[in-house]
Chains A and B, each alone.
Chain A
């Protein structure tokens, strides 16, 4: 497809209540830089139902223009409704590129869309740059379980597409009351064109839900925690630090803690100010999800654990002794009784 503009689009996925998922707002940030380099507008594409909150958020997070597709059929994600809407609006405007959050749904619809558009899509990117030499986006992503990074170009097909990992980029501070041009596109999908049906939803218990991606401090536990009750001292430390509890895949697979806490390749990618890894050996799949943290602390009784290779501060010791003692120290320093 020949691009009609130099505009760069960011797909802003919404929740059923019409608010924006954070990854869409995060991507407006690198999107701004790429749009400027390409000499086009930064356009937020919002799809959902009762989308006023998401449209407002996109404006306040710096979009030059917002295109919105609103309808009942978009309240709950379905591949068919979303790919039809995306295909129609993209063929109408023909932007030069689009960033998509690499959520489960983003990675469901992204490849389907690239296949329909017959264009290139780069999966699960963790770095975006503009390749001055060729005028393409340089999409960088991990492969081989995080052992290798690859930079991908899509030189001859437009729009170039990429899914980008949530949590890699930080959203900018919203500028309250900021507005831009909003275009409503009346695109609808007939019920018979949606070929999957929702039979049942099983949301995780709200008390089990945790905002890992937005957290400033994460205290994570792995195999060394030994059981569900072993997370208690970690929770106390996280509370003292104003943070949340994370976990490695080993702890989640063992059933000690809910999947929503999982950090790593098959969990969330996080980048808090402080990440404290307790009883986590540091498998590459885990490290891939937390290595961009500003400060990493490792507490492990095995002094050869690979987690120490990437830690800023390492403590060799029994986490059940060190963690409660650290909680007490933190409380002292912070003046918490």
Chain B
């Protein structure tokens, strides 16, 4: 079994604060992490690898050279080989252009590592929050897709994924090759062992630059992106709330109920 896991290095958005003076995001000092949903995707692949001895996991990331750090982390928790897709012409890509670059790069990686049976992606990245690259990539590659996956199991000829739906869950099966996106499962992904961390440090990260694979540059970067950002802004903060006072819980409740009644919301 040959698996590919797509990961993105992202700022830890739970650490982001707003500068009250300029009303902009403070990105300085915010740590870079492996997108948590991509971590769940890698864990999904690694759990299958735990049960079989014929699984190889290749990890790919598109991003600046610093994203090698994220790939090293993936090599310590189940990844066997890692590729960084990096180039100036890829910068500024929207989701469609990003998925196109990844699709072209994956075709090249398959020449080197063999065809992939399953491609795993996180449901979404926590910076862009779009959840679009996975399905767009599946379309570029012509693969069936299963999104919002919680857990996955393998049979001889298909992967069976428990998928989150609006009113519960469903189990879907898809034959190989296919693409699965992962959402947050009920368990935490494994932590790296020291020995695996050290081994990962020493491993080479393969780099694919602009000229290393076949790609139509008119479909990448800002110019190749159908959508563009017109403006960004920090959402307005609601202020001017009233604190209810009172000596006892009963008095607090009385005063609150009176205020709500007066406001006409009861």
Seen from chain A, the residues whose Cβ lies within 8 Å of a Cβ on chain B are 79-80, 83, 103-105, 107-112, 114-116, 118-124, 131, 138, 141-157, 195-204, 209, 241, 253, 259-260, 265-266, 273-274, 291, 294-297, 308-318, 321-322, 325-326, 328-330, 332-334
Please report the C-alpha to C-alpha distance between residue A148 and residue B229 in the assembled complex, in whole angstroms.
Answer: 12
Residue pair A115, B139 in contact (C-beta under 8 Å): yes
The contact of B265 among A109, A195, A294, by CB within 8 Å, is: A294
Closest CB in chain A relative to B262 CB, distance in Å: 11
B62 at the interface (CB under 8 A from A): no
Residues of A within 8 A of B254 (CB): 325, 329
| A108-B148, A121-B132, A325-B250 as given contacts; A152 in contact with B16, CB under 8 Å | no
Residues of B within 8 A of A295 (CB): 260, 263, 265
22 contacts between A and B (CB under 8 A): A105-B166, A111-B130, A118-B96, A121-B95, A121-B227, A145-B13, A151-B229, A151-B232, A201-B170, A202-B168, A203-B167, A241-B266, A296-B241, A308-B241, A309-B241, A310-B237, A313-B243, A321-B249, A325-B254, A328-B253, A330-B257, A333-B261
Residue pair B256, A112 in contact (C-beta under 8 Å): no
| A199-B172, A317-B249, A329-B253 as given contacts; A123 in contact with B131, CB under 8 Å | yes
Classify chain B: how many residues form its interface, as a range: 35 or more
> Shortest 6 CB-CB distances between A and B: which pairs?
A120-B226, A325-B253, A321-B249, A195-B144, A329-B257, A115-B139
| A107-B147, A123-B130 as given contacts; A148 in contact with B168, CB under 8 Å | no
B128 at the interface (CB under 8 A from A): yes
Residues of A within 8 A of B198 (CB): none
Seen from chain B, the residues whose Cβ lies within 8 Å of a Cβ on chain A are 11, 13-14, 16, 18, 25, 94-96, 99, 126-136, 138-140, 144-148, 160, 164-175, 178, 183-184, 186, 225-235, 237-239, 241-244, 249-250, 252-254, 256-257, 259-261, 263, 265-266
| A79-B145, A313-B256 as given contacts; A138 in contact with B230, CB under 8 Å | yes
* Chain A contact residues, majority secondary structure: mixed
Residues of A within 8 A of B96 (CB): 114-115, 118-121
Residue pair A195, B178 in contact (C-beta under 8 Å): yes
4 further contact pairs, Cβ within 8 A, besides A112-B139, A150-B229: A118-B226, A141-B129, A199-B172, A291-B238
Residue pair B127, A144 in contact (C-beta under 8 Å): yes
Residue pair A114, B243 in contact (C-beta under 8 Å): no
Residue pair B237, A149 in contact (C-beta under 8 Å): no
| A151-B229, A152-B227, A333-B261 as given contacts; A313 in contact with B135, CB under 8 Å | no
Residues of B within 8 A of A333 (CB): 257, 261, 266
Residues of A within 8 A of B128 (CB): 143
Residues of A within 8 A of B260 (CB): 274, 295, 297, 313
Residue pair A313, B244 in contact (C-beta under 8 Å): yes
| A108-B147, A195-B178, A330-B257 as given contacts; A150 in contact with B238, CB under 8 Å | no
Residues of B within 8 A of A116 (CB): 139
Residues of B within 8 A of A156 (CB): 226
Residue pair B129, A314 in contact (C-beta under 8 Å): no
Residues of B within 8 A of A107 (CB): 131-132, 147
User: B13, B130, B140, B265 — which one has the most chain A CB atoms within 10 A of its CB?
Assistant: B265
Residue pair B136, A202 in contact (C-beta under 8 Å): no
The chain A residue with its CB closest to the CB of B10 is A144
Residues of B within 8 A of A202 (CB): 168-171
Closest CB in chain A relative to B104 CB, distance in Å: 14
Residue pair B241, A196 in contact (C-beta under 8 Å): no
Residue pair B252, A155 in contact (C-beta under 8 Å): no
User: A118, A138, A313, A318 — which one has the most chain B CB atoms within 10 A of its CB?
Assistant: A313
Closest CB in chain B relative to A27 CB, distance in Å: 16
Residue pair B168, A309 in contact (C-beta under 8 Å): no
Residue pair A148, B144 in contact (C-beta under 8 Å): no
Residues of A within 8 A of B239 (CB): 309
Residue pair B266, A112 in contact (C-beta under 8 Å): no
The chain B residue with its CB closest to the CB of A295 is B265
| A108-B147, A150-B231, A312-B242 as given contacts; A115 in contact with B253, CB under 8 Å | no
